[in-house]
Amino acid sequence: MNQYEIHIRMTRPLNIVCLATYFKGADFIRECKAHGCHVVLVTKEKMLREDWPRESLDDLIAVPNDAGPALFIDLLAFLARNRRIDRVIALEEFDVVTAALMREHLCLPGLSSSRAKVFRDKLSMAVQASKAGINVPEFVPLVNREEVSEFMERVPAPWIIKPRSDVSAIGIRKVSDAGEVMRTMDEMNERENLRERASYYLLARFVAGEVFHVDSVVNDGKVLFAGANQYGRPPMQVAHQGGAYISRTLERGSVDERALFDANKKLVKALRLERGATHAEFIKSADDGKFYFLEIAARVGGAYIAEVLEAATGVNLWREWAKLEVVDGKGTSKIRPTRKEYAGIILSLAKQETPDTSSYVDDEITNRIKKRHHAGLIVRSPELARVNDLLSSYSPRFADDFVAIEPPPERPE
């Protein structure tokens, strides 16, 4: 037993409240319970029937699907009547700010609401990244018409209109006509929902290129572990055109990996995250070969990214984050991989409710995704070329066997 494990066992069991608007973070919950914590999960009614690790939960509470921060705060106060709360943890993107507001209400440690909003606001994070000297595609908020016009005169089309607070490719669209941008601003400003008006969007230069993501565990403002992966196709392209999503480990020690790790460290420092997990996306421009920052989230990446990293490195992002919470960030300065291999995932919407992947029989397959109307495989190999070959061969087969296409929502449901 190392010093880190001894410290975990000596620390008194914590009372942890987890928030999850969507089905995420089962390993975080299990790890907390493994160290004797009292764990309560708060989710939405629509997620109540998901396969939560109930054996590791002391309570599972469902709130109405339209519940706002005030209800979550009142629920936390109710729970605190009989048990002192030590941590409030957001397991999902949409819960980051709510969890921060709950922590502030009881003066609990963790990310503040002002810091949390930076991780939910693409404009704020772009401003902070730019100040830190990280390459960011030129951008302008859709607020002042003169400023927007000047931007379009200075920055050549095409551009991207994207919501400041949504995730993935939700609400993003590519535009090339200045008149269309102005008309879109006018249309937005007539919307009944005030939070869907133009000031909640920004316009940015469209950068063509390959998209990468860096996923980290952070403690005391420093990156303890990071893994760099490359998407097979940009997520925006997959969301709008359909097909299979692919992500794979980047070549270890490569120039690209070093550049991404360096940018990621600067980003985490600039955004002042003290502890937790991050998922940052960058694009490598096809024009100048430089990496440009796209966005970052204060949570573990979705689409089974954690499982891919665990396959390649042996490091489970959820469990490592949970350990840090249990010991209040004390006891370790670096997380060392137990293996240095390569892994990747292919994942798609499926026309079948329970897709059958049994015809895919390669020894390198480590995980078969089990989710309604989704088909997915994770592969692992000591050789990156083998991972690439497998994913490339699976892509046309998935198109024939499984792939279904569903237009991306204009806003999160």
Residues 357 and 229 in one domain: yes
Do residue 55 and residue 149 come from a single domain? no
Tell me, yes or no, whether 196 and 223 share the same domain.
no
Regarding whether 62 and 29 lie in a shared domain, the answer is yes
pLDDT band at 317 (very low <50, low <70, confident <90, very high): very high
Asked if residue 412 belongs to a domain, the reply is no
The pLDDT confidence band at residue 405, using thresholds 50, 70 and 90, is confident
In this structure, the answer to whether residues 97 and 175 fall within a common structural domain is no
Residue 284 to residue 289: CA distance in whole angstroms? 6
Residue 10 clears pLDDT 50, i.e. is over it: no
CATH number at residue 356: 3.30.470.20
pTM score over 0.85: yes
Assess whether 305 and 328 both reside in one domain: yes
Q: By the 8 A CB rule, do 375 and 323 touch?
A: no
Same domain assignment for residues 252 and 396? yes
CB 249 within 8 A of CB 301: no
Q: Strand, coil or helix: what is 134? A: coil
CA proximity to 310, closest of 371, 238, 229 = 229
Q: Of 152, 176, 205, which residue sits at a domain end?
A: 205
pLDDT, tens digit, for every residue of 248-305? 999 999 999 999 999 999 999 999 999 999 999 999 999 999 999 999 999 999 999 9
DSSP three-state, residue 19: strand
User: Could you give the number of structural domains in the chain?
Assistant: 3
pLDDT digits (tens, 9 = 90+) for 338-385: 999 999 999 999 999 999 999 999 999 999 999 999 999 999 999 999
Structural domain of 49: 3-116
Is 390 found in the same domain as 309?
yes
Residue 84 belongs to a domain with what CATH number? 3.40.50.20
**Better-scored residue on pLDDT, 238 or 51:** 51
| pLDDT tens-digit readout, 87-116 | 999 999 999 999 999 999 999 999 999 999
